[in-house]
Amino acid sequence: MQLFVVQLLSGLASAASLFLVASGLSLIFGVTRIVNFAHGAFFMLGAYLTFTLTDRFGGPLGFWGGMALAAVLVGLLGGLFEILLLRRIYRAPELFQLLATFGATLIVQDLVLLIWGPEDLLAPRAPGLSGAIDVLGKRVPSYDIFLILLGPLVLALLWLILHRTRWGMLVRAATQDRDMVAALGVNQKWLFTGVFALGTFLAGLGGALQAPREAVDHTMDLRVIVEIFVVVVIGGLGSIEGAFVAAILVSLLNAFGILILPKISLVLVFLLMAVVLVVRPRGLFGRREGAARMSGGAIMSVWKPLDRDGRIVASAVVVAAALAPLALGPYGLAVATEIAIFVLFAASLHLLVSVGGLPSFGHAAFLGLGSYGAALAVKMLGLPMAPALVAGPLLAALGAAVIGWFAVRLSGVYAAMLTLAFAQILWSIAFQWAPVTGGDNGLLGIWPASWAASAAHLYWLTLALVILAIGALRMIIFSPFGYALRAARDSDLRSEAIGVNRRDVQWRAFVIAGAGAGLAGALFAFLKGSVFPDTMGVSTSIDGLVMVLLGGVETVSGPIVGASVYKLLSIWLVSHTDYSKLVLGLVIIGLVLLFPKGIVGSFPLLHPRRVAPREKAAA
Amino acid sequence: MSALLEAHDLAKAYGGVHAVRGVSLDVSPSEIVALIGPNGAGKSTCFNMLNGQIRPDAGTVRLDGRDITGWLPREVWRLGVGRTFQVAATFASMSVIENVQMALLSHAGRASRLWGLATRADRDRAEALLALVGMARQAERPSAELAYGDLKRLELAMALANNPRLLLMDEPTAGMSPRDRVELMALTAEIAREKNLGVLFTEHDMDVVFRHADRILVLSRGQLIAEGRPDEVRTNPEVQAIYLGEGLTYHSGVGS
Q: What is the mean pLDDT of chain B?
A: 88
Tell whether B120 is within 8 A of chain A (Cβ). Answer: no
Model pLDDT, residue A300: 58
Straight-line distance from the first to the last Cα atom of chain A, in angstroms, rounded to the nearest whole number: 82
Model pLDDT, residue A425: 84
pLDDT digits over A68-87, tens only?
999 999 999 999 999 999 99
Using DSSP's 3-state secondary structure scheme, residue B17 falls into strand
Best mutation target, B44, B84, B106, B166, to test chain A (most A CBs within 10 A): B106
Which stretches does DSSP call E strand in A130-246? Answer: 132-135, 138-141
Do B103 and B158 contact (CB within 8 A), yes or no?
yes
pLDDT digits over B179-223, tens only?
888 888 889 999 998 889 999 999 888 888 888 899 999 998 889
Model pLDDT, residue B251: 47
Tell whether B55 is within 8 A of chain A (Cβ). Answer: no
Q: Is the pLDDT of residue A557 over 50?
A: yes
Asked if B161's CB is within 8 angstroms of A478's CB, the reply is no
Position with higher pLDDT, A476 vs A538 = A476
pLDDT digits over A286-311, tens only?
876 544 443 334 455 788 888 888 89
**Which segments of chain B belong to CATH 3.40.50.300?**
27-55+69-80+164-256
Tell whether B256 is within 8 A of chain A (Cβ). Answer: no
At residue A618 the predicted structure's pLDDT band, cuts being 50, 70 and 90, is very low
What percentage of chain A exceeds 90 in pLDDT? 55
Asked if B95's CB is within 8 angstroms of A479's CB, the reply is no
Distance of CA B135 to the CA centre of its chain: 19
CATH code at A324-618: 1.10.3470
The DSSP H or E segment spanning A339 is: helix A330-350
Model pLDDT, residue A249: 93
Q: Is the pLDDT of residue A58 over 80?
A: no
Chain A: give the shortest CA distance to residue B255, in Å: 36
> Taking each helix axis from N to C terminus, what angle separates A2-32 and A240-260, rounded to the nearest 10 degrees?
150
Tell me the C-alpha distance between B130 and B125, whole Å: 9
Tell whether B139 is within 8 A of chain A (Cβ). Answer: no
Average of per-residue pLDDT across A104-109: 93
By Cβ distance, the residue of A478, A498, A616 closest to B117 is A478
Tell whether B70 is within 8 A of chain A (Cβ). Answer: no
Domain A2-279 is found in CATH 3.30.200: no
- Backbone CA torsion sign across A327, A331, A333, A335: negative
Model pLDDT, residue B243: 63
Q: What is the mean pLDDT of chain A?
A: 88
CB atoms within 10 A of CB A389: 25
Model pLDDT, residue A266: 72
Tell me the C-alpha distance between A34 and A18, whole Å: 19
At residue A538 the predicted structure's pLDDT band, cuts being 50, 70 and 90, is confident
Model pLDDT, residue A619: 35
Asked if B85's CB is within 8 angstroms of A484's CB, the reply is no
Model pLDDT, residue A134: 80
Model pLDDT, residue A396: 98
Which span out of A60-64, A460-464, B44-48 was modeled with the highest average pLDDT?
Answer: A460-464
Model pLDDT, residue B248: 47
Size of interface A-B (CB pairs under 8 A): 129
Best mutation target, A300, A302, A306, A475, to test chain B (most B CBs within 10 A): A302
Mode of pairing for the β-strands spanning A132-135 and A138-141? antiparallel
Residues of chain B positioned with their CB less than 8 A from the CB of A614: 142, 145
Model pLDDT, residue B254: 43
Asked if B103's CB is within 8 angstroms of A498's CB, the reply is yes
Model pLDDT, residue A615: 39
pLDDT digits over A371-417, tens only?
999 999 999 999 999 999 999 999 999 999 999 998 998 877 788 88
Asked if B118's CB is within 8 angstroms of A483's CB, the reply is yes
Domain B27-55+69-80+164-256 is found in CATH 3.40.50.300: yes
Best mutation target, A300, A483, A506, A615, to test chain B (most B CBs within 10 A): A483
- Which residue stretches of A408-537 are H helix? 412-432, 434-437, 455-478, 480-490, 492-497, 502-528
Asked if B51's CB is within 8 angstroms of A302's CB, the reply is no
Tell me the C-alpha distance between B55 and B168, whole Å: 16
Model pLDDT, residue A288: 66
Which residues sit opposite B193 in a β-bridge?
A: none
Model pLDDT, residue B245: 57
The DSSP H or E segment spanning B185 is: helix B178-195
Model pLDDT, residue A296: 38
Model pLDDT, residue B184: 87
Do A455 and A334 contact (CB within 8 A), yes or no?
yes
What percentage of chain B exceeds 70 in pLDDT? 93
Which span out of A166-170, A340-344, B35-39 was modeled with the highest average pLDDT?
Answer: A340-344
Residues of chain B positioned with their CB less than 8 A from the CB of A288: none
Task: ipTM value, please give it.
Answer: 0.91
Using DSSP's 3-state secondary structure scheme, residue A281 falls into coil
Residues of chain B positioned with their CB less than 8 A from the CB of A495: 91
Residues 6+ apart with CB under 8 A from A501: B74
Average of per-residue pLDDT across B34-49: 89
pLDDT digits over A244-271, tens only?
999 999 999 988 888 888 777 777 887 8
**Which segments of chain A belong to CATH 1.10.3470?**
2-279, 324-618
